[in-house]
Amino acid sequence: MKTMTISALVLFLAVPALASAKAETQQQLQREAKISMKQAREIALKKVPNGKIESGELEREHGKLIYSFDIRGNKPGVTEVNVNAIDGKVIGVQQETPAKEAAEKKQESKEKKH
């Protein structure tokens, strides 16, 4: 019983610290970025005619600081556009089919539960 109580207490204290660390990391990433989210959005939208951004985030991927946007346009599915947060160059454009998009959302859901 003591072990279970101690484990619950450790978990209770650790969760806010983890959430705080993530927020701090996001702040650090924003300080490193040389272009703003607004500028990156404008750049990304030029790659998807008549597109609307569904989500966007600043992240470090493969050692590069990037803005990643999911844009819904005329094609089925979502187009992911990655913009370098330092120089504003588009470094990736990938079309995700509706099936791939659904699989990705399912995976993200599983990761959030753990």
Give pLDDT tens digits for 74-91.
888 999 999 999 999 999
Determine which helix (DSSP H) or strand (DSSP E) holds 70, and give its type and residue range.
strand 64-72
pTM of the model: 0.69
Give pLDDT tens digits for 5-64.
444 434 444 444 444 445 558 889 999 999 999 999 999 999 998 999 999 999 999 999
User: Both tokens of residue 106?
Assistant: 């399912």
Determine which helix (DSSP H) or strand (DSSP E) holds 107, and give its type and residue range.
helix 98-113
State residue 7's pLDDT score.
Answer: 45
Report the DSSP beta bridge partners of residue 96. 78
Backbone angles phi, psi at 21, to 5 degrees: -60, -40
Asked: is 35-113 a CATH 3.10.450.40 domain? The reply is yes
State residue 9's pLDDT score.
Answer: 39
State residue 81's pLDDT score.
Answer: 98
State residue 14's pLDDT score.
Answer: 47
